[in-house]
Amino acid sequence: MSLKAKLALLLIVIVAVTAAVSAWTARWFGNPLFSWLLVLAASLLPVLWLSSRIMRPIQQMLRALSGTVASYREGDFSLSLVADRDDELGELMTAHNELAAALRQQRAHLVQRELLLDTVMQNSPVALVLVDANDRIAYANIAARHLLSEGRSLQGLRFREALTRAPAALQGAAAEQADSLFSTEIEGVEETFHLSQRAFILQGRTFRLYLLKRLTRELSRQEVSTWKKLIRVLSHELNNSLGPLSSLAHSGAEIARRGDYAALPQVFSAIAERAEHLHLFVSGYATFAKLPAPRPQTVPWQQFVADLQGQQAFACIEPLPALPGWFDRVQVEQALINLLKNAHEASGAAAEVELLIVCSGGAQRIEVRDRGSGMSQAVLAQALLPFYSTKRSGTGLGLALAREIAEAHGGRIQLANREGGGLSVALDLPWSPASTDATVA
């Protein structure tokens, strides 16, 4: 029977008892006050009895629910209620048990995922260290323990104390608070690592995650791949030059044997042209391989632009910055000559090649613009790679050399297609007005 039916039955019983007692007392007793007291007493007893019968299972269920909710709060979802009733309370118990079963299933899945994640993280070759806001290590996988503590646990230790046993290069990289690449000696072998670090908030607490990836094998494979590619490019270029040289030498000998000396100057000119191309090719590789560390100095823009215009024609966008530049003049000039040469080959007309120089916000930008056909997205993605070229006679070193020079200065190179056609190549170099002023003074 439902609770609604039981409450209706209780109301009917109360009304019936009250009416019967009222009629009986009105018949036998003449005192109205006594009659009402007798009616109240006779009605209260069954009401209390029926109320206790109805409320007892509700109270039992509330106590059971309180206990299960407390266990859920502690993370224990194993408890359930005995749903042996066919009323609303039974339906509530059944729904509660279904909720508990769903929570148990979700908890089991979470535990399995946590175990899988922990297994993956513990056996990852990447060293992982999680540090809280108090510089205490909250988590460290096996690779991190071997790298920082000879396999011993790092849990609860201060990260700075753990780093005291680490190589000096790792200590310096961790102190930079930024991603970095460094090399150090591990067990007598030179190893290269990439350190990545990120700060984040977890459950209202601040943590910092350090990831140390060993790159030695990967770099070795890349080095071998680069050498193979270099050998292929050199072989291809040498064969392209030596084949015609051999053919021209044979032709010259045959012409000399026949006594046709008038044709020999043309043969010698072709041989000289191929030899010059080969010389420029080899010199370009030598320059790229032997690029020294930059030596920044104060560079007046007017004189710098004038020297560039003496070697390559272009239109300079005025005005030039008031303060002088700060970079290695020889290296940047070499990079810009390559960029201006590429711009001329793309545009054809010297008037369409522009040079823009902007200094602001601690940076100096030197931008070369042309009005050629620009680059496709595929070419833009590979244009800065060494040996990559879309030109039949290109070495693929001009943009790569400019990139090397920009990065050696702590800057970067950016390529972008221009609106209306053409390409923009910008050298973004760090610039310190304070250092420049001090040098000028």
Summarize pLDDT for 8-35 with one digit per residue, the tens.
Answer: 666 676 666 666 656 665 555 555 555 5
Residue scoring higher pLDDT (406 or 292): 406
Encoding tokens for residue 262? 């008038």
Q: Which amino acid is at 368?
A: V
pLDDT of the residue at 440: 37
Q: How many other β-carbons are positioned within 10 Å of the β-carbon of residue 80?
A: 17
Whole-number Å distance between alpha carbons of 424 and 309: 18
Q: Which of 441, 438, 341 is nearest to 399 (CA)?
A: 341
User: 359 has which bridge partners?
Assistant: 364
Whole-number Å distance between alpha carbons of 27 and 20: 11
Question: How many Cα atoms occupy the beta-carbon half-sphere of 1 within 13 Å?
Answer: 10
User: 214 has which bridge partners?
Assistant: 193
Residue scoring higher pLDDT (110 or 438): 110
Q: How far apart are the first and last CA of the chain?
A: 101
User: 128 has which bridge partners?
Assistant: 211
Asked whether the predicted pLDDT for residue 39 surpasses 80, the reply is no
CATH fourth-level superfamily of 297-440: Histidine kinase-like ATPase, C-terminal domain (3.30.565.10)
pLDDT of the residue at 421: 86
Q: If one looks up domain 124-214 in CATH, what number appears?
A: 3.30.450.20
Which letter does DSSP use for residue 441 in this model?
-
pLDDT of the residue at 355: 92
Asked whether the predicted pLDDT for residue 193 surpasses 80, the reply is yes
Asked whether the predicted pLDDT for residue 436 surpasses 60, the reply is no
The CA-based diameter of the chain, rounded to the nearest angstrom, is 165
pLDDT of the residue at 429: 92
Taking CA atoms, 131 is separated from 128, 139, 157, 204, 409, in Å, by 10, 7, 9, 14, 33
Quick one: average pLDDT of 259-269? 80
Whole-number Å distance between alpha carbons of 144 and 193: 13
Whole-number Å distance between alpha carbons of 324 and 31: 119
pLDDT of the residue at 131: 92
Burial readout 124-161 (b: 16 or more C-beta within 10 A, e: otherwise): eeebbbbbeeeeebbbbbebbbebbbeeeebeebebee
- Tracing tokens 């005025």 back to the chain, one arrives at 318
User: Model's pTM, two decimal places?
Assistant: 0.43
Taking each helix axis from N to C terminus, what angle separates 264-289 and 216-258, rounded to the nearest 10 degrees? 170
Residue 367: pLDDT band with limits 50, 70, 90: very high
Asked, as a colleague might, if the bond just before 167 is cis with ω within 30 of 0, I would say: no
